C-alpha cells in the first residue's frame, strides 16, 4: 500500500513539475515576445512619403478577375516614384488582355510574360525571380494578385522604414472578413502567425515574413543568390528567404493600419488544408534557433494541456490547477486582444480559445500527412 501511495505521489509531483515549467515557458512567449507587438511604438507618428523609388512585384497565374479587382488599388497609391511589375506566369485565362488594358491606363505598370513550356515546369520562385530581375529600382515591395492594400498610403507607410541600415521590412497581410467559421479560423491563424513573426522580430530574432506584404532590397536578393538554396521547393519564397537573410540589424517591422494588405482566404476547408500543407514544408529548413523557439512554444503548450488534464483527472488540487489554467487564459486573451487591435482584426477573440487547443492537432496532422503522403509541388 505504501508503495502504491509513494508511486502515486511521485507521478503527481512529476506532473506538477511539468505543469509549472510549461506554464512559465508559455508566460515567456506571451509576456516576453508577443507582448512586444502590443507595446511597440513606431518612432514615426504619421506616415511619411519619402522619395525612395520602389518596384512593386506581383506574380499572377490565371488571376484575371483579381487583377481587375485589386491591381488598381496598387496602381493608385499616393507615392511619388514607383513602378509595378506584374509577371504573367503561364496564364490560360484572359490575364494578358486584362493587363494590356490596365497598362494603357497606368503608365507605370510593366508586364513580363512567361510562356507555357510543356517540357519545363516551375514554381512561383522562378516567376518572382523574373520580376525582380525586371525591376528598375533597388527597393522591392512584394504582394500577390489577390491582395488589396488597405489604404492609398500603403507604399508610403512601408517605405517609412527604409534606411541605409535597413534591408527588410516585414508587413502584415491579413484576410478579408467574411461569413462562416472557416473564414474566422483562417483569419485567426494568420493573426497568430503574424503575432509570432512580429514578436520575434521585435525581440531581435526575425525568422519569416509573408509574401502578401513584404519589402526588401534587390541587391540583398542577389547577394544571397536569390532562392538558390531552396529553389526546388514549391514554397518558401517569403519565409525561407527571410529566414536566411534577416537579422536584428537589417530588419524592421511595419504594422500600422495604413500598411496592411488583405487577401482572399480559401473558400473550402480542403483547399485551405492543401495550402497549409504546402506552407509547412518549409519549417524543417528554418535555422536551428527558429526551429527551437517555434517548437518550444508548441511543446510547452502540449505539456501544459496534458499535465493539466492528467492532474484534474486525478482530482489533484483541482482549484489550484484550474486557477493556473485560467491565469494563462487571462494573459493569453489580454495579449491577443491587444494584437488584434494593433492589426485591425475583429471578432476573433473567443476563437483563440479553440485555436489554442485545435491547432496542435491540426498542424500535427498536416505534418503527418506530408510525411505519409507528400503532395506534388504546386505554383501556389
Q: What is the pLDDT of residue 231?
A: 79
| CB proximity list for 253: less than 8 A, separation 6 or greater | 40, 161, 169, 170, 198, 201, 202
Q: What is the pLDDT of residue 317?
A: 81
Average pLDDT over residues 104-126: 85
Domain count, the chain: 2
| Whole-angstrom distance, CA of residue 186 vs CA of residue 191 | 9
- pLDDT of 30-62, one tens digit each? 999 999 999 998 765 444 546 899 999 999 999
Residue 138 lies inside a defined structural domain of this protein = yes
Q: In percent, how much of the chain has pLDDT > 70?
A: 93
| Whole-angstrom distance, CA of residue 36 vs CA of residue 43 | 15
E strand spans, 115-171: 139-144, 147-149, 168-171
**136 and 228 part of one domain:** yes
The 3-state secondary structure of 298-340, one letter per residue: HHHHHHHHHHHHHHHHCCCCHHHHHHHHHHHHHHHHHHHHHHH
pLDDT band at residue 4, thresholds of 50, 70 and 90?
very low
**198 and 322 part of one domain:** no
Query: What are the two backbone dihedrals, phi and then psi, of residue 23, each rounded to the nearest 5 degrees?
Result: -65, -45
Residue 362 lies inside a defined structural domain of this protein = yes
**62 and 30 part of one domain:** no
Q: What is the pLDDT of residue 314?
A: 86
**304 and 166 part of one domain:** no
pLDDT band at residue 19, thresholds of 50, 70 and 90?
very high
82-89/109-114 β-pairing: parallel
- pLDDT of 117-160, one tens digit each? 766 667 788 999 999 999 999 999 999 999 999 999 999 999 99
The more confident residue out of 379 and 82 is 82
**250 and 302 part of one domain:** no
Average pLDDT over residues 95-106: 94
Mean pLDDT of the chain: 90
| Residue where one domain finishes, among candidates 216, 250, 274 | 274
**190 and 72 part of one domain:** yes
Q: 276-281: long-range contacts at Cβ-Cβ below 8 A with a sequence spacing of 24 or more? A: 276/362, 276/363, 276/366, 277/366, 277/369, 277/370, 277/375, 278/234, 278/235, 278/375, 278/378, 279/235, 279/239, 280/363, 280/366, 280/367, 280/370, 281/233, 281/234, 281/235, 281/236, 281/370
**156 and 252 part of one domain:** yes
**245 and 300 part of one domain:** no
Residue 183 lies inside a defined structural domain of this protein = yes
**Cβ atoms within 10 Å, residue 48:** 11
For residue 257, give the CATH number of its domain. 3.90.550.10
H-type helices in the chain, by residue range? 2-27, 35-39, 64-75, 95-105, 124-134, 154-159, 181-202, 218-223, 239-245, 269-279, 288-313, 318-342, 351-372
Q: What is the pLDDT of residue 11?
A: 81
Average pLDDT over residues 14-23: 94
The more confident residue out of 2 and 351 is 351
Residue 200 lies inside a defined structural domain of this protein = yes
- pLDDT of 276-309, one tens digit each? 988 888 888 899 999 999 999 999 999 999 999 9
Contact by Cβ (8 Å): 379, 124:
yes
Would the pLDDT of 310 be above 50? Answer: yes
Rg over alpha carbons for the chain, rounded to the nearest Å, is: 23
Q: What is the pLDDT of residue 46?
A: 46
Would the pLDDT of 164 be above 70? Answer: yes
**257 and 344 part of one domain:** no
Burial of 22 from C-beta contacts in 10 A (0-12 / 13-18 / 19+): buried
Grid cell locating 278: 504546402
Residue 8 lies inside a defined structural domain of this protein = no
Would the pLDDT of 379 be above 70? Answer: no
| Whole-angstrom distance, CA of residue 84 vs CA of residue 156 | 15
Residue-number span of the structural domain to which 337 is assigned: 16-39+289-372
Contact by Cβ (8 Å): 212, 222:
no
Residue 45 lies inside a defined structural domain of this protein = no
**21 and 155 part of one domain:** no
Contact by Cβ (8 Å): 24, 32:
no
| Residue where one domain finishes, among candidates 274, 301, 324 | 274
Average pLDDT over residues 249-268: 95
Estimate to the nearest angstrom the gap between the alpha carbon of 336 and the chain centroid. 16
The more confident residue out of 371 and 334 is 334
The more confident residue out of 312 and 193 is 193
**73 and 32 part of one domain:** no
Q: In percent, how much of the chain has pLDDT > 90?
A: 72
Amino acid at each position: 500500500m505504501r508503495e502504491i501511495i509513494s508511486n502515486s505521489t511521485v507521478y503527481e509531483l512529476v506532473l506538477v513539475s511539468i505543469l509549472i515549467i510549461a506554464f512559465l515557458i508559455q508566460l515567456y512567449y506571451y509576456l516576453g515576445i508577443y507582448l512586444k507587438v502590443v507595446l511597440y511604438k513606431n518612432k514615426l507618428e504619421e506616415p511619411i512619403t519619402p522619395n525612395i523609388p520602389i518596384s512593386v512585384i506581383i506574380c499572377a497565374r490565371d488571376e484575371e478577375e483579381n487583377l481587375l479587382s485589386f491591381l488598381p488599388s496598387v496602381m493608385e497609391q499616393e507615392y511619388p516614384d514607383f513602378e509595378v511589375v506584374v509577371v504573367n506566369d503561364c496564364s490560360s485565362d484572359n490575364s494578358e488582355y486584362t493587363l494590356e488594358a490596365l497598362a494603357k491606363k497606368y503608365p507605370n505598370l510593366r508586364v513580363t510574360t512567361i510562356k507555357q513550356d510543356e517540357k519545363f515546369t516551375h514554381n512561383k520562385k522562378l516567376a518572382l525571380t523574373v520580376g525582380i530581375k525586371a525591376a528598375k529600382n533597388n527597393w522591392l515591395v512584394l504582394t500577390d494578385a489577390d491582395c488589396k492594400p488597405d489604404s492609398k498610403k500603403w507604399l508610403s507607410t512601408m517605405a517609412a522604414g527604409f534606411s541605409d541600415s535597413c534591408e527588410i521590412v516585414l508587413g502584415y497581410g491579413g484576410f478579408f472578413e467574411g461569413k462562416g467559421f472557416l473564414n474566422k479560423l483562417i483569419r485567426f491563424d494568420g493573426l497568430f502567425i503574424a503575432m509570432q513573426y512580429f514578436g520575434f522580430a521585435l525581440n531581435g530574432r526575425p525568422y519569416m515574413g509573408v509574401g502578401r506584404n513584404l519589402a526588401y532590397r534587390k541587391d540583398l536578393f542577389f547577394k544571397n543568390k536569390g532562392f538558390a538554396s531552396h529553389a526546388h521547393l514549391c514554397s518558401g519564397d517569403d519565409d525561407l528567404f527571410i529566414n536566411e537573410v534577416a537579422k536584428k540589424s537589417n530588419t524592421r517591422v511595419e504594422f500600422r493600419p495604413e500598411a496592411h494588405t488583405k487577401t482572399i482566404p480559401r473558400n473550402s476547408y480542403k483547399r485551405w488544408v492543401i495550402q497549409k500543407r504546402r506552407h509547412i514544408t518549409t519549417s524543417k529548413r528554418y535555422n536551428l534557433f527558429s526551429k527551437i523557439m517555434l517548437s518550444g512554444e508548441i511543446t510547452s503548450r502540449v505539456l501544459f494541456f496534458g499535465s493539466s488534464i492528467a492532474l484534474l483527472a486525478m482530482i489533484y488540487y483541482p482549484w489550484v490547477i484550474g486557477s493556473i489554467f485560467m491565469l494563462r487564459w487571462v494573459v493569453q486573451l489580454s495579449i491577443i486582444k491587444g494584437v488584434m487591435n494593433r492589426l485591425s482584426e475583429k471578432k476573433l477573440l473567443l476563437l483563440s480559445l479553440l485555436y489554442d487547443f485545435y491547432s496542435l492537432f491540426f498542424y500535427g496532422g498536416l505534418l503527418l500527412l506530408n510525411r505519409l503522403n507528400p503532395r506534388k509541388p504546386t505554383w501556389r
